[in-house]
Amino acid sequence: MARVTWNGCCRARILPTTNDEGRTTKMTIGVLALQGDFDAHRKRLEELGAKVVLVRKPEQLDQIDGLVIPGGESSTFLKLLGEKGFEKLKEFVRVKPTFGTCAGAILLAKEVENPKQKGLGVLDIRIRRNAYGRQVDSSIREGTLNGAPIEMVFIRAPKIEHVGPGVEVLATEGNDPVAVRQGRVMAATFHPELSPDTRVHSVFLHLVEKFHL
């Protein structure tokens, strides 16, 4: 199993796992690098000790243990993925851990409003695009993650309007759920990669470790 060391209240480091033969292994995390601040996700994951691959081709999905889908524009993601890329991604998210932030959360949701949009449909939530306003309405707020305060950066953020019975709420801002998890799938409506706090990415790495074979 993975071990965690903490450096202060906001940073955790995931130490390499050990397999049954006693050899040290390291999980490989992909970050979908088609748009958005994918490099900020890479930095946060590497700070936690993960091996990171920037995913630009569908075949790279076969080489990773978990995937982060960053923010950006969800409809643009669909265009950039193309039919082949979308189908490959759809297969991946049904069998391996995936974490979507902002636009990534929209892609993972079963139901999207404002306007309606097709997606991967693996997370039982209803989400509304641009619910917090335009780019100029972006803000930094304080929410809670597993009961502890945490900084949250919202940029043209969507809002989770409904959470299905099988979905666990991990983080809230006010009364709103802003980070959720269902099985292998995790989503956040804010941008944890833009804050120095690594706890949200740490939660995802633990999820990957749980399902890592």
pLDDT digits (tens, 9 = 90+) for 147-196: 999 999 999 899 999 999 999 999 999 999 999 999 999 999 999 999 99
Catalytic residue among 41, 173, 191, 201: 191
Catalytic residue among 102, 173, 201, 212: 102
**Residue % of the chain over a pLDDT of 90:** 72
The encoded tokens of residue 208 equal 């990957």
Q: Is 87 a catalytic residue?
A: no
Q: Which residue has the higher pLDDT, 118 or 18?
A: 118
Beta sheet of 66-69, edge-to-edge order: 51-55, 28-32, 66-69, 98-101, 185-188, 176-182, 168-173, 139-145, 148-154
Question: Mean pLDDT over residues 205-210, rounded?
Answer: 96
Catalytic residue among 41, 173, 193, 201: 193
Name the H helices within the chain. 38-47, 74-93, 103-108, 199-211
pLDDT digits (tens, 9 = 90+) for 114-135: 889 889 999 999 999 988 766 5
Q: Which residue has the higher pLDDT, 203 or 82?
A: 203
The encoded tokens of residue 71 equal 């923010």
**Residue % of the chain over a pLDDT of 70:** 85
pLDDT score of 46: 96
- Those residues whose C-beta lies under 8 Å from the C-beta of residue 49, and which sit 6 or more positions away, are 13, 14, 15, 16, 26
Q: Which residue has the higher pLDDT, 134 or 139?
A: 139
pLDDT score of 160: 97
Q: Is 102 a catalytic residue?
A: yes
Q: How confident is the model at residue 213 (pLDDT cuts 50, 70, 90)?
A: low
pLDDT score of 212: 80
Cα separation, 106 vs 179, whole angstroms: 12
Structural domains in the chain, CATH included, are 4-211 (3.40.50.880)
pLDDT score of 175: 95
Average predicted confidence (pLDDT) for the chain: 87
pTM: 0.87
Q: Is 10 a catalytic residue?
A: no
